[in-house]
Amino acid sequence: MSEARSDVRPDGAVTESGRPRPTRRRVIAGGVLAGAGIAGGTLLATRDRGPAVGTTVRARRVHGTLPVDDPTAGAWGQTGSVLVELERQATTTPMKTRGKGVDHVEVEALHDGTSIAFRLQWDDPERDSDGAGVDVWRDACAVLLARSHADEAQRLMGTADEAASILHWKADWQRDIDEGFQDVEAHFPNAAYGFYPPLVGVDRTARAADYTAADATEWLPALAAGNPLAPATRTSPVEKIRAHGYGTAASLPTQNARGKGEWDDGRWRVVLARPLARTDSDEVHINPGADAGFAVAVWRGDEDDGGSRKSLAKVLLRLEVAP
């Protein structure tokens, strides 16, 4: 792509060799102003072209704040996003055999020298953000980072010899953050319960967080056992994971990933971000100016996706990190 060496300013404008260049929106607007016939042609051509299918994504450097909490920030969508082809997971059980999955994810990446952020976009007709129901499944997506893009085996959750680092965004966590923890009453609006034993003195409907306040987490066994997924208080919708192959995913000790997902009109736009530098010993370190390997995966809640029932990149992709 011609703009492969372009950089992006926080306001969304693309620069090439230091010369300001109009954004895609400005190109279209300019076309409209120039004349209906030309404008129509420009608009159609721009839409039809869309992102190309590819296996290399270049993380461009932004000067200023990295838009880690805003999937619609101007910085996004300005520079060569890549359409990554996915396939239904069929390597390990349970395989994704239900539903057609997600065929493509539009991927782009930015970094500011300190952190790297990915934006994933894919079509999903339903927003599935309920994590509390027995038989309901949330939407989710993930970016897997590997030290080398040449080691194809890394695509499948890393290998026994070398851990992959994963950023996992969860729609239910996003909802917990946006709307407050989705407690029992959120999933069962008509729920009624006499009392919860250790919280007898609570003069309102007990909340999950009350157990922590009452130093009674043994009533929430996973929380008491230190399961990092169990706390009802969340600060980020993105979990940082390391994995040494299928079935080995584990939360990293340092949880410093950020992100934000928004569903609008049948499409998820999700940002997942983390520091470039490793913060845990077996985490993949990303160096500006060097390449790394990466893969993406998407879970569709309406197709009962969960765990290894997912759509994932067909090949390990190359991540070019701009200097």
Partner 1 sequence: MAEVFNWQINRTMSYPYEEARPKKQAAAVFDTNKCIACQTCTLACKTCWTSGKGQEYMLWNNVETKPWGSYPLAWDVEILSRIEPGSWDAQGTYRGRTIFESAPAGSTAQGWMPSDLDYAYPNKGEDETSAPISPETYTLELPHDIWFFYLPRICNHCTYPGCLQACPRQSIYKRPEDGIVLLDQSMCRGYRACMEACPYKKVFYNHVTRVSEKCVMCYPAVEEGVLPRCMRNCIGKIRTFGFVSTPENVREDNPVDFLVHVRKAGLPLYPQLGLEPNIYYIPPVHVSSTPFLTMLFGPGVSHAVEAYQAAMAGDDPELRAVLLLSLATDLIVHSFEIRGDKVVGFDENRDEIVRVPLREPIMIRPEFDAAVSAYRKNVT
The residues of the shown chain that bind partner 1, judged by CB under 8 A, are: 90, 92-97, 131-135, 172, 183-184, 187-188, 191, 193, 196-197, 206-208, 211, 219-227, 229-230, 232, 246-249, 304, 306-308
- Residue 201: Cβ-neighbour burial (10 angstroms; 0-12, 13-18, 19+): exposed
Closest listed residue to residue 237, CA positions, set 291, 189, 167: 167
Query: C-alpha 128: how far from its chain's center?
Result: 15
Strand order in the sheet with 7-8: 7-8, 14-16, 19-21
Q: Give me 215's structure tokens.
A: 């130093």
Q: Indicate the residue among 57 and 241 with the shorter CB distance to partner 1.
A: 241
User: What is the DSSP track for 256-304?
Assistant: --EEEEEEETTEEEEEEEEESS-SSTTSPP--TTSEEEEEEEEE-GGGT
Nearer to partner 1, 72 or 159 (CB): 159
- CB of residue 134 vs partner 1: minimum separation in angstroms? 5
- Of 197 and 289, the one with the shorter C-beta distance to partner 1 is 197
User: Are 320 and 58 within 8 A, CB to CB?
Assistant: yes
**Separation of alpha carbons 67 and 64, rounded Å:** 9
**Which residues lie across from 197 on neighbouring strands?**
none
Nearer to partner 1, 27 or 230 (CB): 230
SS3 26: helix
Least distance from partner 1 to the Cβ atom of residue 112, Å: 31
CB of 44 to partner 1, least distance (A): 41
Taking a C-beta distance cutoff of 8 angstroms, is the pair 80, 279 a contact? Answer: no
CB of 231 to partner 1, least distance (A): 9
Report the alpha-carbon distance of residue 239 to residue 256 in Å, rounded: 8
Comparing CB distances to partner 1, the nearer of 3 and 183 is: 183
Q: Report whether 15 contacts 6 (CB < 8 A).
A: yes
Q: Which is nearer to partner 1, 8 or 297 (CB)?
A: 297
CB 34 to partner 1: min, Å: 54
Reduce the DSSP state of residue 51 to 3 states and report it: coil
Q: Which residue, 211 or 268, has its beta carbon nearer to partner 1?
A: 211
